[in-house]
Amino acid sequence: MDTENAGVFCCEVSSTHDGKRLDVFLAEAIDSLSRSLAVRQVKDGFFLVDGKRVRPSVKLRAGQQVTGRIPDMRPSPLCAQNLVLDILHEDAHLLVLNKAAGMVVHPAPGHPDGTLVNALLHHCPDLGGIGGEVRPGIVHRLDKDTSGVMVVAKHQLSHERLVSMFHDRKTEKYYEALVWGELAGDEGCMDAAIGRHPVDRKKMAALVSGGRQALSLWSVTGRYQGLTRLLLNIKTGRTHQIRVHCSHAGHPIVGDTLYGSRRPGERMKDTRMRAALLKVERQMLHARFLRFTHPVTGAAMAFEAPLPEDMENLLAYLRPWCTEERGDYGGSF
């Protein structure tokens, strides 16, 4: 490829690329350009073949000239903010972090700033842009009051490949949770479709009309008087999936006021245990492990986010009431 100046593209099609689609050719030739973005930019006239506008699907012939201009990324309308981040890994293509409880992932009504996206705009000056805009590529989300490991893409190609991996279930996601009640058995499966709650539109619900398949595997890692500690491996990524599944099974997550309540804690006979549980201020749910294939290098990636201080302290306090402990990693996973 020859470039007269930054952003200008000029390339003669070699015999190696004879018969290749234009959009595929561009995505392979320009690191920051994914195939979907190439399609959009060809349709918008940013790239020409022998000086003429063509369809993204046109088959190239050896000797043809592909010319164009790589459009500048639009600046993000969001403000960059210097917020504390717990980075587990970072390279030119992606970033893996341990999200703190209380941090919203993306600006939304009621949360215009102070979010993970605002923090990443400040932390990552090398963002390549997503969808033509300078912004981090949010691949998956964690609820505001759920802590743990997340992966974020730095450019379009990385974002599209990671999204595809999550969609095709080629990642492994494990969560830790402390739930009310004592589950029967040591492991099992929560298999109930999840959809929007028919009355409360801010909530999700199991087994509702139009719900989508949702599958959560669980394994007991600890038992307490009236409580169970779980390791959950989710095979789908529905909104509030673990919280909905646990509530539907009759074992809501401790501290989850949306899908449970504080009332189970009020029934605890031991006054010290009851007092500790009633002080819990958020759902005891943490994204502990994440495994995936690097979207650019193909390397196997595996990350662990240690339990946050509030969960660690609660479990330590509850240890006198522990009746069984199996270790952090459970049995079947």
Residues with catalytic function: 143
- Cα–Cα distances in angstroms (integers) from residue 273 to residues 39, 254, 285, 317, in the given order: 59, 13, 19, 8
CB 115 within 8 A of CB 103: yes
Name which of 151, 169, 188 is nearest 236 in CA terms: 169
Q: Are strands 8-12 and 87-90 parallel, antiparallel or unpaired?
A: unpaired
3-class DSSP state for residue 277? helix
Phi, psi of 217 (to 5 degrees): -95, 140
CB 176 within 8 A of CB 307: yes
Alpha-carbon distance of 281 to 19, in angstroms, equals: 60
Alpha-carbon distance of 136 to 129, in angstroms, equals: 7
Task: Identify the helix (H) or strand (E) that includes residue 121.
Answer: helix 116-123
Alpha-carbon distance of 67 to 10, in angstroms, equals: 4
Query: How many H-runs (helices) and E-runs (strands) does the chain carry?
Result: 8, 16
CB 266 within 8 A of CB 275: no
Q: What would the two tokens of residue 91 be?
A: 């390279």
Classify residue 24 by burial, with Cβ atoms within 10 Å: 0-12, 13-18, 19+: middle
Task: Identify the helix (H) or strand (E) that includes residue 98.
Answer: strand 94-99
3-state secondary structure 240-272: CHHHHHHHHCCCCECCCCCCCCCHHHHCCCCHH
